[in-house]
């Protein structure tokens, strides 16, 4: 996209059209985030990805929990469900089970995901629910004004850790790998093009894709996960990283001080829909097939 | 007229096959065309020698509960059965092994406990079993055959019921069983018999009005879900609701529906609501502890106006409580469990047919009023068998969604538009041009977060008022009065499975000449105030019997319609005793007569 | 007598420093020795230009709520302040910038909205700020100085309050502030002044009776926890409870206590109950959504008879609702939220001092009655400032455990022994020879699972009856009647933070000659039936005002004491309007007089 | 212990005494499990370990959830808390935070742990709460009579998977490793001596120890995790396995078809108590120390 130097009229026109396409995914509500918050570039990334993949607005359902990150669905012109703190994945699973045809994205903060929502991640991952889960990992509770989160680093001083955080943080990437997630990646809000690219890949993946997005909370974290710190720390996964190699992915994920961006792991295996279809055909082969298919889909299609 | 009404109780210890013969007996009677109500009580442990009782009431016309007294008691273990001898009515029969394996100490044999007016039927069960099968294990089947023989019941229905039950077992077992049955039957057919207990003809008329089946409350829920076209189900195992999921796991996929066993109840209700948002008819089933975990998400269903159906089969509480005992103590939680003003629909069927109807209607209501609908059952209703008559035509609406008119396309979509009935037209994901975001935050008509005073007041009103229409929802009985019309001395107000015992007690009281009448309330939230008020106006005294300690239903009713009522609260873990209710009715009637005489 | 009672409101948009000057003002007044009640309203977003209002009521003697009308309104943003002009009383002052940065369209300037009897005070805030500080940012401090100047308030207390507030900021900022303040003060001191609004001497007597402090409801809870010797705290952040944990995170470790921020509310209450089982005084704090998640574990606390304390600061509901708005709608959940009959203690203080006392007493009660104790606050009470007088001697029992007599050593330990008061002697892990297992299953006196009818009935009775003693718990007011004694036309029954507005309305009604009286109920479960009954007997009409839609407290009370009451239910997200209550009192009083005249 | 052949009188006497010691940890309630259930040998293992370590009954608190496994505390003569389904770890954490001096064991089934309790494991592990967590992993829900669990193998037919389980099972060992548990091991109910030894080691570890115990449910699983199948599948961790090497532990944990027994990983790092003590001393260094220490402990000690 660094093509601003080239004076080709046609290309600019094309870009404009493309850009317009992207904008159609934005709702009329402007994001209410603090100026400079890393989350803005994630909105850009998601609209870019949807546009690139040509997914119709009506076919997208974005599910979120509670938190600054979880305000996300209000800013997009798609179907959206702003649910409860931590319940993103099971609600999203219900939507996907009801209608295979939808593109389902789940979105939440690090607290939403790994504190209150932690029970649900292993199961969405092992069942390989065909959805994309974006965790906006700012290492803090933003919406409630700056408490320690499960990904806060040791020594971080917050309003609930006035004597510095003493709890070892979790490692989201290792966790997701251990759960059997079929696509695991990491991006950084400060590298928006790479971020958009990874969102696109995650959405294109058939199965459960998990993207950890490192993102600064400019208001409540002035010391740890800042742009300047992250700019110094992040690196790309090595060129020769084999994303089919689980152990290699694990090894990369352990290097938390120098977080690598890219696709850690991906694999193809049956999705939850595949599993449910297998069950249906087994059930039907035992008995003459009966009428009542998935009327939800019929209804949606019927109008 | 030969009105059949016979209750048989089989009592033994866990290894005796007590529940099994009870099961064969009720299935045989149902096959013969009788109406059946049956409920088993057994110990919570998977292993052990605890007491089991299987009670089966066989009638020609619909009955409402088990009778307080059994006509026949079959003892497979005297130690367990002796305390139940008093429950046998006068001229009722006690059947026991008159040649047990070891001589019993005095007082340990049941024959010494049979009361003067009861008829003892000794039968060498063990001996006969050993003679014809080479082992003592078939004692239970011998006893079953004996019952059939004594009362001259048709052999074929028993054979068919045994075949059904043991269809997966070997041919040897089938032969053993039929030999044991025959031996018992012969012994019974030749014994001297008094005619106080007789089985008349089953009433064949019933067959004409629909599909007669014997099923449990949970079975009826499953059938209701399927008849209402449920698409998806999410559940987590818990007694006494598990069998709903287990049965659906077999049946739902056959119809193209989908079932997922989730990681917990929070996930189950979340997925149910997710699926509901996506336009699916979706449900989950649980018991009190699971419902407790669900209440936060139910609040989201209320706020975001998303349909969902929750079956809750109650057991003894609080906490893990008494998983294999019955109780009606999750009512507070079902109606009031939620942060904020989170009203939803709560229904409780009173019998198996009602369980089927409430199940089916719950999906209509959830969709139509855009709300969670809780259907409260309890262990007693979930597990008890009744013969029910289902109409031949599926009475449930296939779709109850208030859709957005096509002409509104292109206009800003007000998902939560204010309307006359409080229900806003709804679009579902995948639908063209109906994009919107729903939220658990208070919001304006577009669904955008908004916490202004007027908005919250109007939206609160909308969420509450739209539910009132459920009180006139077609095709379901919201409340109903039984017994004497007009002013009465005693009115009994009841809900849930206990209403069977209430009716039974009321009929007995009427026979005693007491002026009384009973009302069942099926819809518990919103409460049908007007019919209850009318009933109250007719009653000098009101009695509210329920199986909980706090008088949860009485709390609900008196908060809505302040008046003095008499509460009968019991928590035995088993169905309420008809005698307890009857005693209260008598007491209140006496008081009412006395005060009228003043 | 010069009875001080002045309410000042500062209104502006989020960037204007509105809340900040309100804060300095109340701290200065508290320093001067006045009693203060203060409550701010601001928008939910972290960023934006939403409306902020800081209201501070300054009195010489204790007041109970904000007044319905302010005496002074300071506008920092006319757009936001104009709708609040009508809330200024007759002869009250409206202070505004008479030289704003841009000429405003007609009707957009506040001066055009001031009503005839109100006094306009124009002040070139921006200009003065620019003159003395070189920027417009200190407009708010200029206005503050002006208020102080107009009413002749002592400068020192303002200087001290500003120093405290900005202690961490640079010296330049301090200088800027004091220059701005002075400029405002001078302008104010020289302006013509009517004497309708005057500040008398603060009442110094109060200083003698204890420790006078200004604190919020949440601050009082923290102080109560520390005074009661709380050992452990487990919490998860949620508005408006978070500040309890944040403050405790600083203070508790200083006293050797321990605080853990858990992964969610389920974990928080579980750990609280675990710590309680281990003999620790332990608590958690949350709001409605978190309480909803806790109800399953609370049921375990009830069943296993383990002490725990839960602070729940209510916000607008249902669901995520209105996180930054106040409401009293988690009462149903607090009292009734649980599977089975899961009664526990629920208290709701009505003011800041009560928050401190309930907090401390909650630990005593939890330990003494071996039960969860829920203390219900709400955003209004959690965040509002009051000057309170705390007794100099810590009034809380350091230990309230019913211990097992040493002489019982070596005997089988009946953890759940039946006793006269229903409370069984308790041992804690580490204690010699007191080993036992507690469970959420129904159990016998030894704690072994047992689901026999008699056991469950007796244990249910034990669990309920032992709580009744809490109604006589020493050192805390369970309920209290205010106003006229004896029979009255109108009785107002209230709970929680709204009781301040109720009292205010009652006093106004009394001034109008209406026969009325008000009762607050602090203990909501078990309900103090007898005092309420006595109050009801005295009242021709009963009014129950509360900030929820369903009349949750009215439901509770009328279920226990059936009688007709008038419900005043409002859900504006802000404190109840005193006028609304007063209107209802008038209406009911008129009705009562009419019916008395018949 | 295979010393029955040796006729030395003294040694037998000693053993008898030791055995008596062990029995003092048993309560008067006999286990209500099905005959043959793998859980019996876990009771033996725990009483053996407590006896070996000489921990006084009064100082042991055993916390369980709900399930057949969770009936455990009733069968021991220690302090016990039979809590709720899935809430074992947070209750146990509360107990330990209240009183450092207690030996805290958490016990639950695979459903209790990895289905309904899944939210809590990462946090007990990362905080390194000094307790031992035994999961009785029978790959099924026993108490509720045989439904699929998160560790049920693919293809398993249960009452809720009548058309065979299609959900990929979780891998408890990988999960615990990814959470940063400081001691992770696996034992098998069919090898009681090794099991008792591992329980002893887990109890002796300072920090959060997780022991996965493979155990057959003889009543509801006749086909997958049976004694005969497990006897064929299990192996010992290789002799040269380095339990300080996280990646080696991960690699072993991936070999689910041939489960290895032994200590996968162990490490020493600060416990939650250490963290809380750090906080206390930081807080006190800022302010003159005040009175009210941990009265719970005082109370317990005082009597
Ligand atoms: C049940 C429940 N508990 C707590 C909260 C309060 N709460 C809202 S958002 C949040 C944490 C937000 O942190 P994170 O998920 O990291 O998102 P961020 O704001 O950082 O994007 C909390 C604790 C809530 N809304 N519901
Ligand atoms: C909240 C809640 N949900 C469900 C249940 C029902 N329940 C009891 S034990 C159990 C599962 C037991 O399986 P597991 O944890 O593997 O233990 P096991 O019986 O196999 O030892 C379930 C679902 C419950 N008691 N509480
Ligand atoms: S508080 Fe932090 S996370 Fe939230 S919007 Fe502001 S910068 Fe972003
Ligand atoms: S059901 Fe299974 S797990 Fe439970 S006791 Fe029996 S064999 Fe053991
Ligand atoms: Mg965050
Ligand atoms: Mg298991």
CB burial of residue B585 (10 Å; 0-12, 13-18, 19+): buried
Contact B277 A78 (CB under 8 A): no
Gap from CA of B462 to ligand 3 centroid (Å): 33
SS (H, E, C) B387-425: EEEECCCCCCCCCCCCECCHHHCCCCCCCCCCCCCCCCC
Q: What residue owns the CA closest to ligand 3's atom 8? A: A37
Q: Is the pLDDT assigned to residue D132 strictly greater than 90?
A: yes
| Ligand 2 site, residue D141, Cβ cutoff 6 A | yes
Q: Which of A220-234, B70-84, C218-232, D22-36 has the lowest mean pLDDT?
A: D22-36
* Cα–Cα distance for residue pair B522/D73, rounded to 1 Å: 42
pLDDT confidence band for B209 (50 / 70 / 90): low
Tell me which DSSP letter residue A191 carries.
Answer: -
- Residue D20 has a pLDDT of 65
What are the chain A neighbours of B300 within 8 Å (beta carbons)? 83-84, 87
Contact D118 B263 (CB under 8 A): yes
Mutate to test the pocket of ligand 4, among D37, D143, D225, D227 (most ligand atoms within 8 A of CB): D37
pLDDT in tens, chain C (598 residues): 457 899 999 999 988 999 999 999 999 999 898 999 999 988 776 666 788 999 999 998 888 899 889 999 999 999 999 999 999 999 999 999 988 766 667 678 898 899 988 999 999 999 999 999 998 899 999 999 999 999 999 999 999 999 988 877 778 888 889 999 999 999 999 887 767 788 888 865 445 556 788 999 999 999 999 999 999 999 999 999 999 999 999 999 999 999 999 999 999 999 999 999 999 999 999 999 999 999 999 999 999 999 999 999 999 999 999 999 999 999 999 999 999 999 999 999 999 999 999 999 999 999 999 999 999 999 999 999 999 989 989 999 998 889 988 888 888 899 999 999 999 999 999 999 999 999 999 999 999 999 999 999 999 999 999 999 999 999 999 999 999 999 999 999 999 999 999 999 999 999 999 999 999 999 999 999 999 999 999 999 999 999 999 999 999 999 999 999 999 999 999 999 999 999 999 999 999 888 877 6
- Residue D294 has a pLDDT of 41
pLDDT confidence band for D295 (50 / 70 / 90): very low
What number is the average pLDDT over the span B79-103?
89
- Residue A288 has a pLDDT of 45
Phi and psi at residue C59, in whole multiples of 5°? -135, 165
- Residue B352 has a pLDDT of 97
Q: Which of A32, A35, A118 faces C263 most closely, judged by CB atoms?
A: A118
What number is the average pLDDT over the span D56-74?
97
| Ligand 2 site, residue D136, Cβ cutoff 6 A | yes
Mutate to test the pocket of ligand 1, among A37, A118, A141, A218 (most ligand atoms within 8 A of CB): A141
Is residue C368 within 8 Å of C400, Cβ to Cβ?
yes
Number of H helices, E strands in chain B: 18, 21
Among left, alpha and beta (phi > 0; psi -120 to 50; other), residue B365 is alpha
Smallest Cα distance from B460 to chain A, Å? 19
Contact A91 B280 (CB under 8 A): no
**Burial state string for B278-298 with b = 16 or more CB within 10 A and e = fewer than 16:** bbbbbbbbbbbbbbbbbbbbb
- Residue B584 has a pLDDT of 98
- The pLDDT tens digits of the residues spanning D159-202 come to 999 999 999 999 999 999 999 999 999 999 999 999 999 999 99
- Residue B284 has a pLDDT of 98
pLDDT confidence band for D296 (50 / 70 / 90): very low
* Cα–Cα distance for residue pair B88/C198, rounded to 1 Å: 87
Is residue B25 within 8 Å of B147, Cβ to Cβ?
yes
Q: Which of A295-299, B142-146, B500-504 has the lowest mean pLDDT?
A: A295-299
* Cα–Cα distance for residue pair A108/C529, rounded to 1 Å: 47
The CA dihedral of C20, C23, C29, C32, to the nearest 10 degrees, is: -90
Domains of chain C, start order: 5-189 (3.40.920.10), 212-390 (3.40.50.970), 479-597 (3.40.50.920)
Is residue C9 within 8 Å of C53, Cβ to Cβ?
yes
- The pLDDT tens digits of the residues spanning B142-197 come to 999 999 999 999 999 999 999 988 877 778 888 899 999 999 999 999 887 767 78
Q: Which of C47, C237, C264 faces A144 most closely, judged by CB atoms?
A: C237
- Residue B208 has a pLDDT of 54
Closest CA to C388 of C224, C216, C183, C584: C216
What number is the average pLDDT over the span B313-318?
98
Percent of chain B with pLDDT over 90: 81
- Residue A302 has a pLDDT of 36
CB burial of residue B122 (10 Å; 0-12, 13-18, 19+): middle
Q: Is C50 on the interface with A (CB under 8 A)?
A: no
Residue given tokens 């107000």 in the structure block:
B493
- Residue A10 has a pLDDT of 61
Question: DSSP strand E in C365-425: where?
Answer: 372-378, 385-390
Smallest Cα distance from B112 to chain C, Å? 26
**Burial state string for A14-29 with b = 16 or more CB within 10 A and e = fewer than 16:** eeeeeeeebeebbbeb
* Chain centre to alpha carbon of residue B205: 25
Among left, alpha and beta (phi > 0; psi -120 to 50; other), residue D183 is beta
What are the chain A neighbours of C239 within 8 Å (beta carbons)? 144
Structure tokens at B566: 């008499």
Tell me which DSSP letter residue C316 carries.
Answer: B
Superfamily in which the D9-271 domain is placed by CATH? Thiamin diphosphate (ThDP)-binding fold, Pyr/PP domains (3.40.50.970)
What number is the average pLDDT over the span A204-224?
97
* Cα–Cα distance for residue pair B440/B449, rounded to 1 Å: 9
Q: Which residue of B has its CA nearest to D143?
A: B46
* Cα–Cα distance for residue pair C63/C60, rounded to 1 Å: 9
Reduced to 3 states, what is the DSSP secondary structure of residue D81?
A: strand
Q: Which of B272, B437, B448 faces A94 most closely, judged by CB atoms?
A: B272
* Cα–Cα distance for residue pair C477/C350, rounded to 1 Å: 11
- Residue A12 has a pLDDT of 63
- Residue D289 has a pLDDT of 39
* Cα–Cα distance for residue pair A58/A102, rounded to 1 Å: 9
Pick the residue with more confidence: B595 or A75?
A75
For chain A, state the CA radius of gyration: 20
Mutate to test the pocket of ligand 4, among B46, B237, B239, B242 (most ligand atoms within 8 A of CB): B46
CB burial of residue C200 (10 Å; 0-12, 13-18, 19+): middle
pLDDT confidence band for D292 (50 / 70 / 90): very low
| Ligand 2 site, residue B238, Cβ cutoff 6 A | yes
Q: Is the pLDDT assigned to residue B128 strictly greater than 50?
A: yes
- Residue A6 has a pLDDT of 47
- Residue B107 has a pLDDT of 75
- Residue B203 has a pLDDT of 67
Quote the mean pLDDT of chain D. Answer: 91
Q: Is the pLDDT assigned to residue B210 strictly greater than 80?
A: no
Q: Which of A80, A101, A292 faces B430 most closely, judged by CB atoms?
A: A101
What number is the average pLDDT over the span B327-341?
98
What number is the average pLDDT over the span D13-40?
81
Contact D175 A179 (CB under 8 A): yes
Q: What residue owns the CA closest to ligand 1's atom 10? A: A67
């Amino acid at each position: 996209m660094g093509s601003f130097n080239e004076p080709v009229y046609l290309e600019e026109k094309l870009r404009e059209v493309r850009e317009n396409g992207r904008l159609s995914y934005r709702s009329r509500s402007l994001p209410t985030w603090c100026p400079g918050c890393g989350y803005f570039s994630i909105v850009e990334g998601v609209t870019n990805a949807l546009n690139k993949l040509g997914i119709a607005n009506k076919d997208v359902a974005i599910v979120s929990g509670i938190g600054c990150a979880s305000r996300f669905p209000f800013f997009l012109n798609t179907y959206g469900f702003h649910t409860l703190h931590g319940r993103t994945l099971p609600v999203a699973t219900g939507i996907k089970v009801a209608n295979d045809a939808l593109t389902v994205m789940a979105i939440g903060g690090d607290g939403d995901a790994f504190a209150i929502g932690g029970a649900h991640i292993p199961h969405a991952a092992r069942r390989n629910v065909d959805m994309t889960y974006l965790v906006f990992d700012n290492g803090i509770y933003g919406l409630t004004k700056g408490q320690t989160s499960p990904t806060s680093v040791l020594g971080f001083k917050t309003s609930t850790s006035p004597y510095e955080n003493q709890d070892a943080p979790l490692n989201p990437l290792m966790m997701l790998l251990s759960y059997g997630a079929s696509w695991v990646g990491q991006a950084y809000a400060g590298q928006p093009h790479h971020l958009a690219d990874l969102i696109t890949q995650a959405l294109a993946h058939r199965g459960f894709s998990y993207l950890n997005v490192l993102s600064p909370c400019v208001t409540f974290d002035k010391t740890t996960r800042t742009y300047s710190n992250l700019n110094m720390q992040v690196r790309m996964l090595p060129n020769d990283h084999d994303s089919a190699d689980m152990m290699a992915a694990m090894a990369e994920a352990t290097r938390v001080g120098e977080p690598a961006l890219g696709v850690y792991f991906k694999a193809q295996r049956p999705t939850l829909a595949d599993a449910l279809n297998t069950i249906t055909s087994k059930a039907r082969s035992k008995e003459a097939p009966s009428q009542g298919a998935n009327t939800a889909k019929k209804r949606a299609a019927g109008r | 007229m030969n009105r059949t009404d016979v209750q048989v109780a089989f009592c033994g210890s866990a290894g005796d096959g007590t529940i099994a013969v009870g099961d064969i007996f009720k299935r045989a009677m149902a096959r013969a065309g009788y109406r059946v109500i049956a409920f088993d009580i057994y110990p919570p442990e998977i292993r052990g020698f605890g007491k089991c009782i299987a009670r089966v009431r066989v009638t020609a016309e619909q009955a409402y509960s088990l009778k307080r007294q059994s006509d026949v008691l079959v003892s497979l273990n005297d130690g367990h059965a002796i305390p139940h001898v008093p429950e046998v009515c006068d001229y009722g029969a006690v059947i026991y092994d008159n040649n047990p394996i070891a001589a019993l100490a005095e007082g340990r044999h049941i024959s010494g406990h049979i009361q003067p007016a009861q008829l003892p039927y000794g039968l060498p069960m063990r001996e006969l079993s050993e003679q014809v099968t080479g082992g003592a294990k078939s004692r239970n089947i011998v006893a079953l055959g004996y019952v059939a023989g004594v009362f001259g019941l048709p052999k074929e229905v028993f054979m068919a019921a045994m075949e059904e039950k043991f269809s997966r077992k070997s041919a040897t077992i089938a032969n053993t069983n039929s030999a044991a049955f025959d031996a018992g039957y012969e012994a019974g057919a030749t014994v001297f018999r008094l005619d106080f207990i007789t089985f008349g003809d089953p009433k064949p008329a019933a067959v004409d009005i629909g599909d007669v089946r014997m099923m449990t409350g949970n079975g009826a829920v499953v059938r209701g879900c399927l008849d209402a076209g449920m698409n998806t189900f999410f559940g987590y195992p818990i007694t006494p609701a598990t069998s709903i999921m287990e049965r659906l796991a077999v049946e739902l996929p056959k119809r193209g529906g989908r079932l997922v066993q989730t990681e917990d109840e929070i996930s189950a209700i979340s997925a149910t609501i997710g699926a509901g948002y996506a336009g699916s008819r979706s449900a989950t089933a649980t018991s009190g502890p699971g419902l407790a975990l669900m209440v936060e998400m139910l609040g989201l269903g209320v706020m975001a106006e998303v349909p969902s159906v929750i079956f809750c089969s109650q057991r003894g509480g609080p906490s893990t409580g008494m998983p294999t005992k019955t109780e009606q103590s999750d009512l507070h939680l079902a109606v009031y469990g939620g942060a904020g003003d989170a009203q939803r629909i709560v229904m409780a069927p009173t019998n198996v047919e009602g369980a089927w109807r409430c199940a089916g209607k719950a999906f209509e209501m959830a969709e139509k009023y855009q709300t969670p609908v809780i259907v409260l059952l309890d262990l007693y209703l979930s597990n008890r068998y009744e013969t029910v008559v289902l109409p031949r035509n599926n009475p449930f609406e296939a779709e109850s969604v208030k859709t957005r008119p096509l002409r509104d396309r292109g206009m800003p979509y007000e998902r939560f538009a204010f309307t006359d009935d409080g229900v806003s037209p709804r679009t579902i994901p995948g639908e063209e041009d109906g994009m919107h975001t729903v939220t658990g935050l208070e919001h304006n008509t577009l669904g955008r977060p908004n916490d202004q005073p007027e908005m919250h007041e109007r939206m609160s009103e909308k969420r509450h008022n739209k539910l009132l229409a459920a009180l006139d929802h077609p095709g379901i009985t919201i409340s109903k009065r039984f017994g004497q019309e007009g002013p009465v001395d005693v009115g009994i107000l009841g809900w849930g499975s206990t209403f069977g015992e209430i009716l039974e007690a009321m009929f007995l009281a009427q026979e005693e000449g007491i002026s009384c009448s009973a009302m069942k309330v099926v819809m518990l939230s919103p409460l049908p105030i007007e019919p209850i008020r009318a009933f109250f106006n007719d009653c000098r005294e009101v009695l509210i019997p329920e199986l909980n300690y706090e008088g949860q239903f009485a709390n609900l009713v008196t908060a809505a319609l302040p008046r003095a009522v008499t509460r009968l609260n019991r928590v035995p873990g088993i169905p309420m005793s008809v005698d307890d209710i009857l005693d209260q009715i008598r007491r209140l009637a006496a008081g009412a007569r006395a005060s009228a005489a003043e």
